[in-house]
């Protein structure tokens, strides 16, 4: 698994925490879903089309779950404490 939170956590530390099972994989999945949604919207897809594409990519999730993720999850790069 690649480091989806490298803005706040270096890759080597991420790998150690992941190996120790100290990172919540569901939260990481949600970050990826939100990023994918934002990328699709930037490419011109309508919101419903982007959600439909995400539902195809994550068939085990329900429509309401995907909506909750894309509208409530705050990505690390959206936070005020960004580190370069």
pLDDT in tens, 6-38: 888 899 999 999 899 999 889 889 999 999 999
More confident call, 2 vs 81: 2
pLDDT at 39 over 90: yes
Q: Exposed, middle or buried: residue 84 (CB in 10 Å: 0-12, 13-18, 19+)?
A: exposed
pLDDT computed for residue 80 by the predictor: 61
Q: For the chain, what's the residue count?
A: 84
Domain boundaries, the chain: 25-77
- Mention every residue, 6+ apart, whose C-beta is less than 8 A from residue 46: none
Write the CA distances from 69 to 6, 10, 14, 15, 40, integer angstroms: 20, 24, 22, 24, 15
pLDDT computed for residue 7 by the predictor: 81
């Amino acid at each position: 698994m690649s480091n989806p939170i490298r803005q706040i956590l270096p890759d080597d530390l991420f790998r150690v925490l992941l190996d120790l099972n100290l990172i919540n994989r569901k939260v990481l999945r949600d970050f990826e879903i939100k990023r994918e949604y934002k990328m699709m919207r930037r490419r011109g897809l309508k919101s419903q089309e982007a959600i439909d594409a995400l539902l195809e990519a994550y068939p085990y999730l329900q429509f309401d779950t995907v909506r909750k993720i894309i509208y409530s999850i705050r990505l690390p790069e959206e936070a005020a404490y960004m580190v370069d």
